[in-house]
Amino acid sequence: MKRLGLAAVTAAVMMAALGGTAAADGTYYGTGFGGGARLDGQIADRYDSRDHVAGRIVIGRRIGSLALEGAFFGTDLTSRATGGGLSTLSLGVDLKYYAPITSNLELYIKGGVDETWLATRSDAGTDYSGRGYSYGAGAQYAWRPLPILQMAVWIDLNRQIVDLASESAAKNDRFDGRLDMVTVGFSIGTEL
């Protein structure tokens, strides 16, 4: 787990050293998928995400080397106690900083806040919810198939820290944990 934090710090130092600013201003949309999240902390004591899928849907606004991005993301889980299926559903906002490597390839770092719900798949109700934060890094390769359209493929490494509490007044239960997700996806927009 310390490796992801070290990788993010290393990426930040590399970006600062590389300098340069991308000339990009516009709106974009994207989606990505990956394997189930790697869990740590109390959430790992209760749930397992092996053989599950993680996903991410984003909408963002980029201005130069910065982007403000809204995201809906999560992963499927299995309860260790009951074997039942659940999903983490998170709505978040991230600030991203891009550093160009070539005219098409960029690295980025990001950080943000989110609200997370733990929902059972059977009735789509939520049992736990709470706030958290996330940070990560990634790489993006973008190209322009049309003058007004840009496309990109990306890989995103995201670490989410959550603190979840029961939504039931009769049940005073809370737990925290960490979810590490790797998603691969694509975006489309006026500027990426």
**CATH number for 16:** 2.40.160.20
Cβ neighbours of 53 (radius 10 Å): 15
Would you say the pTM of this structure is higher than 0.75? yes
Left if phi > 0, otherwise alpha if psi is -120 to 50, otherwise beta: which for 39?
Answer: beta
Distance between CA atoms of 187 and 151, rounded to whole angstroms? 6
Containing structural domain, residue 92: 2-189
Look at the block and give the residue holding tokens 């603190």: 163
Residue at 15: amino acid letter: M
Distance between CA atoms of 29 and 71, rounded to whole angstroms? 10
pLDDT for position 122:
65
CA-based max dimension of the chain:
58
Backbone dihedral angles phi then psi of residue 84, each to the nearest 5 degrees = -75, 155
Written as tens digits, the pLDDT of the chain (192 aa) is 444 444 444 444 344 433 444 456 899 999 999 999 999 999 999 999 999 999 999 999 999 999 999 999 999 999 999 888 999 999 999 999 999 999 999 999 999 999 999 988 765 456 899 999 999 999 999 999 998 999 999 999 999 999 999 887 667 789 999 999 999 999 999 988
* Total domains in the fold of the chain: 1
Determine the 3-state secondary structure of 3 from DSSP. Answer: helix
**Count of alpha carbons within 13 Å of 132, Cβ hemisphere only?**
28
pLDDT for position 144:
94
Look at the block and give the residue holding tokens 């996806």: 185
